[in-house]
Copies of this chain bind each other. A is one copy, B any other.
Amino acid sequence: MRSETSTPQDDPTSSSRSFIETARRRQLIDAAVATVNEVGYHRASLAEIGRRAGIVKSAIGYYFSSKEALLLELVQEAFTALGESVLGAVSGREGATARLRAYAEAYLAHVDAHRHAIAAAVEVVVSHRTADGTPLYLVEDEEDTALLRSILTAGMDEGVFRRMPVAVVTGLVEAVLDRAITVVQRDPRADLGDLRSHAVPFLLRSLGAGDE
């Protein structure tokens, strides 16, 4: 049983969501993804999101405490899944080159497979501002790039990657990988095959690693 309030909220510690509540939150996040992708963050109103989920807009407040809470959950879900994909792919790999390759391939594969969720999450992150005007991308970032930074730092220490300031090279590698997101944002049905096969060698060469 949840706390006495009749409106379930976005309490992250609440592990006791009813079946229908879980389903509704799923529906709403999916509807938010679809709405943001179709009409953009700016025009993604609760009324429209609710319409797509088959729910009246005021009922959204029953599952999310606010529009911001819904969108933030969308973002967190998408990036958490992406992080888990790359973490799983890198785990067990030895050597900076192999680890970076695994990272990049998993990253691109995940974006390819979950393009709608990722595209919407990026749109939200780029567009959303908290109440005091702070953009979202100023909040996170440190943690998100930790794995990539560690791989690149290790590679430079091992001597297999060219030495560059870690902040610079991390940003450049991210920029290259995020090209996949840009592509699917522009065309949700784009074929990422060519990009996926060329981006990794492109990256390894740029780092000065042998592209064997």
Contact present for A138 and B186 (CB under 8 Å): yes
A102 to B83, CA, bound (A): 36
Chain B residues within 8 Å of A176, by CB: 172, 175-176, 206
Chain B residues within 8 Å of A165, by CB: 194, 198
CB-contact partner of A42 in B4, B127, B205, under 8 A:
B127
Q: How many A residues touch B, CB cutoff 8 Å? A: 53
Chain B residues within 8 Å of A133, by CB: 38-40, 43
Q: Flag whether A7 is at the interface (Cβ < 8 A).
A: yes
CB-contact partner of A206 in B50, B168, B203, under 8 A:
B203
A24 to B43, CA, bound (A): 28
Nearest CB to that of A199 among chain B residues?
A: B172
A182 to B167, CA, bound (A): 13
CB-contact partner of A171 in B7, B141, B182, under 8 A:
B182
